[in-house]
């Protein structure tokens, strides 16, 4: 793949259908591997976000949350709810990479930029934002199930029976709120994915370009950066920076989403049949009143820390697969 569009520069010799299949396959594998690595940290993030509106915090911080989860729930507890995010990561990354390519092609047609020419960074961000927005609609139901499972032990300590699995949680949501209830928190997911994905791909492409320009200056035998392919180290470095930007840029929207999706489980007295359903703006105001900006960024530190290696893994796997099989 060429840079600055090294991740998804179209290859005219490959049909659109075949390329779409490769995007789905490569993105799914990359997302699955990264999610297995990062899940304990994502669980910690959700649990910290879900306690912002509580009168007393269950956890003092991310390390305390990780320790208590491991102490009282074991390794199994650290991976509670894993099937849902694994499926979500596969769907998310497959949709992201495929949609990103489609939006790039649309922007090329509307702006008259040839396939052989790199897209300017602002248009790369626009294409990425479109891909993120499209992905959010498939991702919200999966994240709803994941978040509910990740806080199960916080409200089920008196129960001796097994906790419900992802299918049981999914059917329970549909039974009580209908299909529409699966998209609770969609506004937060939409904001996070639109802005975050623009920052993700934009940062990846920017850093990748700079790294290839640097290598071109160091190695005179490769004077033209667009002719170079990213090494695994370069993919990892640019992907790591992209992961940090993705999570930091729109983190408050994710906090609102997680709070909305766990409200009924953790604070049922506020979410009874006669109570109004939580809204994005209403939850945002409540979080801000409770702990201010600090509350909106609850769990941000550990999320950014885990997203650095996680995003690096995604892009190393995707770029290397595309390099050898694309």
Convert the pLDDT of each residue in 11-51 to its tens digit: 444 567 788 888 889 889 998 898 888 888 888 888 898 88
Rounded to the nearest 10 degrees, the angle between the axes of helix 300-325 and helix 83-111 is 60
Give CA–CA dist 49/256, Å, rounded: 8
In this prediction, residue 197 carries a pLDDT of 96
Segment 259-280 shows an average pLDDT of 74
In this prediction, residue 122 carries a pLDDT of 95
For 215-238, write each residue's pLDDT tens digit: 888 776 665 666 678 999 999 999
- What torsion do the CA atoms of 109, 115, 120, 122 make, to the nearest 10 degrees? 40
pTM for the predicted model, two decimal places: 0.80
In this prediction, residue 76 carries a pLDDT of 85
The DSSP result for 241-270, as a single string, is HHHHHHHHHTHHHHHHHHHHHHHHHH-GGG
In this prediction, residue 123 carries a pLDDT of 96
pLDDT tier for residue 269 given thresholds of 50, 70 and 90: low
Give CA–CA dist 215/263, Å, rounded: 50
In this prediction, residue 125 carries a pLDDT of 96
Q: Where are the domains of the chain?
A: 16-325
In this prediction, residue 275 carries a pLDDT of 58
Q: Give the CATH architecture of domain 16-325.
A: Alpha/alpha barrel (1.50)
Describe the chain by its helix, strand, coil percentages, rounded to 5.
75, 0, 25
pLDDT score of 162 more than 80: no
């Amino acid at each position: 793949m060429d840079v600055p569009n090294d991740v998804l520069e179209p290859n005219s010799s490959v049909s659109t259908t075949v390329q779409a299949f490769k995007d789905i396959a490569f993105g799914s594998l990359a997302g699955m591997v990264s999610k297995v690595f990062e899940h304990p940290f994502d669980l910690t993030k959700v649990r910290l976000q879900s306690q912002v509106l509580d009168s007393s915090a269950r956890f003092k911080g991310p390390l305390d949350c990780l320790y208590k989860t491991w102490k009282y729930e074991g390794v199994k507890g650290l991976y509670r709810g894993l099937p849902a995010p694994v499926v979500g990561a596969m769907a998310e990354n497959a949709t992201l990479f495929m949609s990103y390519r489609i939006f790039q092609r649309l922007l090329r047609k509307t702006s008259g930029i040839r396939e052989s020419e790199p897209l300017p960074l602002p248009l790369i961000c626009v294409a990425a934002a479109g891909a993120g927005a499209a992905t959010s609609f498939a991702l919200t139901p999966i994240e709803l199930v994941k978040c509910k499972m990740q806080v199960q032990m916080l409200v089920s300590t008196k129960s001796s029976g097994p906790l419900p699995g992802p299918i049981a949680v999914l059917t329970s949501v549909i039974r009580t709120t209908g299909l529409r209830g699966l998209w609770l928190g969609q506004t937060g997911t939409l904001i996070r994915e639109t802005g975050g994905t623009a920052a993700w791909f934009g940062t990846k492409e920017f850093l990748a370009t700079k790294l290839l320009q640097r290598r071109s200056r160091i190695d005179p035998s490769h004077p033209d950066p667009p002719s170079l392919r990213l090494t695994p180290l370069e993919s990892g470095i640019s992907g790591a920076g992209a992961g940090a930007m993705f999570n930091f840029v729109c983190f408050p929207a994710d906090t609102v989403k997680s709070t909305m999706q766990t409200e009924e489980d953790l604070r049922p007295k506020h979410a009874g049949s006669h109570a109004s359903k939580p809204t994005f703006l209403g939850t945002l105001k409540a979080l801000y009143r409770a702990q201010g900006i600090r509350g909106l960024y609850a769990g941000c530190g550990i999320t950014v820390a885990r997203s650095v290696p996680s995003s690096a893994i995604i892009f190393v796997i995707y770029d290397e697969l595309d390099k050898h099989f694309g």
